[in-house]
Amino acid sequence: MSWILEAEAQLGRSLTVKRWRWPSGLALITAIDRGAPVVSYQTWFRVGSRHEQVGRTGMAHLFEHLMFNQTETLPPGEFDRVVERTGGESNAATWVDWTYYRLSLPARDLELGVKLEAERMTRLVLDEGPVESERDVVTNERRERVEDDVDGWLDEQLMALAFEVHPYRWPTIGWMADIRALPLDDIRAFYRTWYAPNNATLVVVGDLDEAALLDLVATHYGAIAPAALPDDRAIDEPVQTVERRIRGGKPIASDRVLAGWKAPGQADPDWPVLELIATLLAGSPSARLHRRLVIEKELASSVDSQLTPFRDPSLLRVAVTMARGHRAEVALAEIDAVIADLAEQPPAAAELDKAKNLVETDFWAALVDADGKAEALGHHESALGDFRTLTTLAARLAAVTADDVSRVVRAYLRNDRRSIVIAEPDGEGDDGDDAGDDEDAA
Amino acid sequence: MRLVFEPSGDAPLVWFEVCALGGAARDPAGVEGLTRHAAMLARRGTATHDRAALDETLDGLGAALDVAVGRDTITLSGLCLTRNLDAVVALAAEVLAAPRFADDEHQRLSRETPLILDEIRDDDSSLASRWFDREVAPGHPYARTAVGTEASLARIDRDTAHQTWRGLFVPRNVIVGIAGDVDDAGAHALATRLTERLPDLDPPAPITGDAWVASPGRRTVLVDKAERTQAQLRIGHLGPRYGDPDTAAVLVLETAFGGMFSSRLMQEIRVKRGWSYGAGCALRRSRRAHWFEMWMATAIGVAADALALTHELYVDLAARGLTAEELDFARSYLVGSMPFHLATARQRMQLAVRDAAFDLPIGYTATLPAQLGALDIDAVRAAATRHLRPEDAVTVAVTTARDTRDALAKVGEVEVVAFDAY
């Protein structure tokens, strides 16, 4: 058996990115970056919260914790100890479409990383004691990030409101009741199902010898058999036809608004247009919403916009923190007016160029170190199926026209396709349509 | 003017910083927030560009130009595409030397900053840090809030803010850092352009003395906020200055106790008991002596147990120091992790600017591995005895008093304060 070189592309001035494939289906993306004597070794599994079942939410994220415990050859705690003894760090992240594990290692310790990751891909030990301990940790993580955090609550409520069918409707960390009840047998089955070489991409960026890396990976992963993966097609969400809106009381000083408009998946040709629209709305101090809400009318203390980079259609979101004494509805009226302007009148060339320059700066700044490069490559490969969607992004952004902006605003930023969650200071709410904030709500 | 330069042609980007000594710790008592107000206002227009024009021009260039106020420094930092560097530096130089300090923007900022206080109070972690800074060593300049209070903000006037900015950004009081896609000659030319119009005034007198006395005695301040399911905990006391001769020893203590996943706090609080998602500690790096601080966020029902256990672990650390194995492990981690702190040109530049602002020798960070290598277990134990003071550790807990007060009172004296009282 041997590696097949499947794809090759340039990223920036000096980075050559290659994708290799092993007969088991394991993909390996390599990029040599000798800027520092370090390597970023990331393992991306194409499993996220979208692959969970109702009543079993939080399963993918729980593995982000469990994967650092015992394996067949490593006793509990040893994984972190051997990494930290080198000066390296390990971490992980889970989102809707993927889970990834990151080792940042001194370049001389690359082989250690290969051995560790190959070991835990299929030889994790899932016993009751460590699982219960991590379950407690995750419930505390959820309390910190959702129950006691108004922004976490808004985020969770918005996704649950905007999606009726798609698994994007439940939080990646899981509902509290589900986290507490995930059965050990289901946890083990989830691991056997999704943690397999043909569902993984290794992304290795840094000061490395490519031929030696290929040999190492072949040696340590080569015999791992592929798994029979479940069907993983796109999931259709019914078209939204009416605005959805909920509100809830929180111990906060002023109203907060999180609004989301249905937007296409990241691979859609309109996605770069929407990224520029998000920047035009609230991506900089001179952006339209920031200028109007924060500076000119002093209705809000902050406004942000974000286009969520998901595989399936997701949301373009706008978040507003109101100034004391101003209600959320006032901001929503201003947002409506700004969007109407953008729909009717394409932005001037200078304003569009401004958005393109801002996005370009952010693009390069995210790729400044080995971890950032590996993360960007891993996301595009895992969520969109090909890392080259990253290397071609700059050209796609450059091709966007002012007419594209107005066309896409009209197509997507429609009130009948938006969902709105409002958090308001305790005691000011309308009891009739409270979303409620019980920690077990699902 | 001192210049730190780190070239890198990896990406078409340039980062620059102009760092002036003199931050929030210099704010006069009762006028807390003055330096921050001056910094925010300076960014809102220049002699030739009002706020809207400045924002529009910088955004049009795809650039970021931000001001940040720390305890010791005030920094104007920029990020831009290489092709737009000249234009961005011209605007940055104008912000530094000829800020507009318009009255309408002063009035607007005076209305905006209380909203920042609202956002801090809405966020439990930020709220815990704000109260901890106030309570851990009352009277210490670092105990002053950088943002201010409603009362102190009302005392800030535009002319004083303008004088504050003008007094800090003088050639002999600034460090310039440049990193990225520019050559050596270009970097020197940029540094000159950034600073050549600054007023040639004497630099402000530095704050001197490290002999501030921490509030003695262990105590807990319970910051009462409704509907909490957790307690955000901050525990600590005044520690040594970063750069003190014991710094290497304190670094290994910090690392072994709460600086890694394998550290004692993480293992005892998270791994063995599942009480908190995170648990750690750090010596705050500043120009003068600052806090040694521990943190965690536990479920309400175990907050008192977690606090008691943390005290117990900390008393043991202060009395016994580390084991030989722990010293070896922490040292290995710290030395091995050094390349990650120096991996990019931007990181190297920022670290060098920080070291210069802390009045540390040039290349101080690079000397740490040798200092760590020279440590033995007795030196670490002696440093623990000198600098770790569990008997004076102050705890701030942001949580709901009704649910936690009685349990926390079993661990020590508890004072309850309203979350929005400060």
3-state secondary structure B299-319: EHHHHHHHHHHHHHHHHHHHH
Q: What is the pLDDT at residue B131? A: 98
Chain A residues near residue B344 by CB distance under 8 angstroms: 35-36, 368-369
Q: Answer whether B62 sits within 8 Å of A358, measured CB to CB.
A: yes
| In-domain check, residue B208 | no
Contact list, A147 vs chain B (CB under 8 Å): 229-230
The residue of chain B nearest to residue A291, with distances taken between CA atoms, is B52
pLDDT > 70? residue A432? no
- In this prediction, residues A245-263 reach a mean pLDDT of 97
What are the pLDDT tens digits along chain B (422 aa)? 899 999 999 999 999 999 999 999 999 999 999 999 999 999 999 999 999 999 999 999 999 999 999 999 999 999 999 999 999 999 999 999 999 999 999 999 999 999 999 999 999 999 999 999 999 988 888 999 999 999 999 999 999 999 999 999 999 999 999 999 999 999 999 999 999 999 999 999 877 655 556 566 899 999 999 999 999 999 999 999 999 999 999 999 999 999 999 999 999 999 999 999 999 999 999 998 899 999 999 999 999 999 999 999 999 999 999 999 999 999 999 999 999 999 999 999 999 999 999 999 888 988 999 999 999 999 999 999 999 999 999 999 999 999 999 999 999 999 999 999 99
On whether residue B206 sits in a domain, the answer given is no
Going by C-alpha positions, the residue among B88, B101, B89 that lies closest to residue B166 is: B101
Contact B229 A147 (CB under 8 A): yes
Closest CA to B261 of A222, A78, A212, A434: A78
Q: Which two tokens stand for residue A55?
A: 């009543």
Residues of B in contact with A353 (CB under 8 A): 60
B325 falls within a domain? yes
Tell me which of B134, B160, B195 is where a domain ends: B195
Q: What residues 324-343 of chain A have any CB closer than 8 A to a CB of chain B?
A: 324
Q: What is the mean pLDDT of residues A278-285?
A: 98
Which residues on chain A are in Cβ contact (under 8 Å) with B228?
Answer: 148
Residue B278 and residue A173: Cα distance in Å, rounded?
16
Is B10 within 8 Å of A13 when comparing Cβ atoms?
yes
* Most distant CA atoms of chain B, gap in Å: 65
Residues 6+ positions from B125 with CB-CB distance below 8 Å: B232, B297
Q: What is the pLDDT of residue A433?
A: 39
| ipTM summary value | 0.94
Rounded to a whole number of angstroms, the distance from the CA of B172 to the nearest CA of chain A is 31
Residues B164 and B309 in one domain: no
Nearest Cα neighbor of A28 from A201, A198, A194 is A201
CB B354 within 8 A of CB B364: no
Give the tokens for residue B237: 């006391």
Query: Touching check for B79 and chain A: CB below 8 Å?
Result: yes
- Asked whether residue B204 is assigned to any structural domain, the reply reads no
Which of residues 302 through 321 in chain A touch B, CB cutoff 8 A?
A: 302, 321
Does the fold of domain A244-433 match that of domain A4-221?
A: yes
Of A14, A85, A357, the CB nearest to B10: A14
Rg (CA), chain A: 23
Task: Determine the CATH number of domain A4-221.
Answer: 3.30.830.10
Which 343-372 residues of chain B touch chain A by CB within 8 A? 343-344, 346
* Contact across the interface for B11 and A368, Cβ inside 8 Å: yes
Nearest CA to CA, how far is A405 from chain B (Å)? 17
| B112:A350 CB<8 A | no
Picking from A149, A357, A370, the nearest residue to B60 by CB comes out as A357
B367 belongs to a structural domain: yes
Question: CA of B279 to nearest chain A CA: how many angstroms apart?
Answer: 11
For residue B343, count CB atoms less than 10 angstroms from its CB and return exposed for 0-12, middle for 13-18, buried for 19 or more.
buried
In 10 A of CB A330, how many CB atoms? 18
The pLDDT of residue A408 is 98
Work out the minimum CA distance from B14 to partner chain A, whole angstroms. Answer: 10
CB B270 within 8 A of CB B261: no
| DSSP code string of B78-92 | EEEEGGGHHHHHHHH
What is the C-alpha separation between A1 and A76, in angstroms, rounded? 34
Tokens at residue B98, please?
A: 């000829």
Domain with B268, as residue range(s), is 219-418
Q: Which residues contact B51 (CB under 8 A, 6 or more apart)?
A: A295, B44, B45, B100, B102, B105
User: Per the CB < 8 Å rule, is A85 touching B226?
Assistant: no
Residue B133 lies in a domain: yes
For B226, the closest of A88, A251, A354 (CB atoms) is A251
- Tell me whether residues B277 and A137 touch, CB distance under 8 A: yes
Name residues 204-243 of chain B within 8 A of A (Cβ).
225-230, 232
Same domain, B280 and B350: yes
pLDDT of residue A434: 42
Residue A252 and residue B122: Cβ atoms within 8 Å? yes
Report yes or no on B202 lying in a domain. no
Contact A35 B227 (CB under 8 A): no
DSSP tag of A71: B
The arithmetic mean of pLDDT across residues A350-356, rounded, is: 98
Sheet containing A4-11: order of strands: A4-11, A15-21, A27-32, A200-206, A38-45, A99-106, A89-94
CA distance B204 to chain A (A): 32
- C-alpha A76/C-alpha B337 separation (Å) is 23
pLDDT-above-90 percentage for chain A? 94
Question: Residue ranges per domain, chain A?
Answer: 4-221, 244-433
Evaluate if residue A437 carries a pLDDT over 80. Answer: no
- Which residue of chain B comes nearest to A294, CA vs CA? B112
Assign residue B126 the CATH number of its domain. 3.30.830.10
Residue A40 near residue A202, CB atoms below 8 Å: no
Per DSSP, helices labelled H in B174-246 are 184-195
Of A12, A140, A301, the CB nearest to B277: A140
Q: Which of B6, B8, B10 to mutate to test the interface with A (most CBs of A within 10 A)?
A: B10
CB contact under 8 A, A285 and B55: yes
Mutate to test the interface with A, among B120, B252, B261 (most CBs of A within 10 A): B261
Instruction: Indicate yes or no: CB of B10 within 8 angstroms of CB of A134.
Output: no
Q: In the A/B pair of chains, how many CB contacts fall below 8 A?
A: 193
Q: Do B112 and A298 touch (CB under 8 A)?
A: yes
Over chain A, what is the mean pLDDT? 95
Contact status, residue B64 vs residue B34, Cβ threshold 8 Å: no
Residue with tokens 């002093």, as numbered in its chain: A298
Interface of B with A in 305-334 (CB under 8 A): 329, 332-334
Q: Is residue B135 part of a domain?
A: yes
Same domain, B161 and B270: no
**Per-window interface: A 358-417 vs B, CB < 8 A:** 358-361, 364-365, 367-370
B-contacting residues of A 32-91, CB under 8 Å? 33, 35-38, 68, 77, 80-81, 84-90
Query: Could you tell me if B112 and A301 are in contact, meaning their C-beta atoms sit under 8 angstroms apart?
Result: yes
Topology (CATH level 3) of domain A244-433:
Cytochrome Bc1 Complex; Chain A, domain 1 (3.30.830)
Which pLDDT score, from 0 to 100, does residue A54 have? 96
Is residue B303 a contact partner of residue B404, using CB atoms and an 8 Å limit? yes
Q: What is the pLDDT of residue A232?
A: 86
B251 and B320 belong to one structural domain: yes
What is the arithmetic mean of pLDDT over A404-424? 98
The answer to whether B329 contacts A84, with C-beta atoms less than 8 Å apart, is yes
> Under an 8 A CB cutoff, do B275 and A133 touch?
no
Helix (H, G, I), strand (E, B) or coil at B236: strand
Residue type, A262: K
- From chain B residues 116-155, the ones with a CB under 8 A of any chain A CB are 116, 118-119, 121-124
CB-CB neighbors (< 8 A) of B81 in chain A = 357, 360-361, 364
Question: Cβ A144–B230 below 8 Å, yes or no?
Answer: yes
Q: Using the beta-carbon criterion (under 8 Å), do B333 and A365 form an inter-chain contact? A: no
Same-domain check for residues B17 and B70: yes
Same domain, B159 and B30: yes
Strand order in the sheet with A256-263: A244-250, A418-425, A256-263, A314-322, A300-307
Same domain, B172 and B245: no
Residue A439: the pLDDT is 35
B421 touches chain A (CB under 8 A): no
Nearest partner of A312 among A355, A266, A253, A345, judged by Cα: A266
Shortest CA gap A357–chain B (Å):
4
Number of compact structural domains in chain B: 2
